[in-house]
Amino acid sequence: MVRYRRNFVPGGTWFFTATLADRRSTALVDHIDALRSAFCAARRASHFAIDAIVVLPDHLHAILTLPANDKDFPGRWRRIKGNFSNALIGAGLDLKRWPNGDLALWQRRFWEHTIRDDGDFARHVDYIHFNPVKHGLARRVSDWPYSSFHRYVREGRLPDDWAGDIGESATDFGEPSPPP
């Protein structure tokens, strides 16, 4: 069996996708406060910066940067996923389990991409912020409440009408076009 290799770069910046096991679930947005608390607890335990993030019903995308001498992003994701799962159990939700007994709320892995340069960073921030529109959850980027887009607007880094309405935008943000 081929062992999956991750790119561990001390002080690196990565784009991540973390997905719930049940793609029909809306647990991430239904329990957004628990998810925020899970991120806060993970950041208290092991510092990291959240450069950009969007939370959708069944998955999230984030760009995280670790401190200069740290490369343990898997540990951060274990904490985030574990804290969120424990919060839901604490709230009385009955979570499914895998056959080995582990909780089955999240897919077992996450996807990561090492950010290479400023252009790569900018493309991934755009992808994150446009994702709710791409998935048909919002007509405008500013309509989706669970996104760092709003922080970018407050900080003057993006205008509130960035990317316009879905009817105005022909941008695919790197996604392959469906076959005709």
| Cα distance between residue 178 and residue 180, in whole Å | 6
| Cα distance between residue 151 and residue 54, in whole Å | 11
Assess whether 146 carries a catalytic annotation: yes
Question: By the 8 A CB rule, do 115 and 64 touch?
Answer: no
| Cα distance between residue 81 and residue 108, in whole Å | 10
Active site positions, annotated:
146
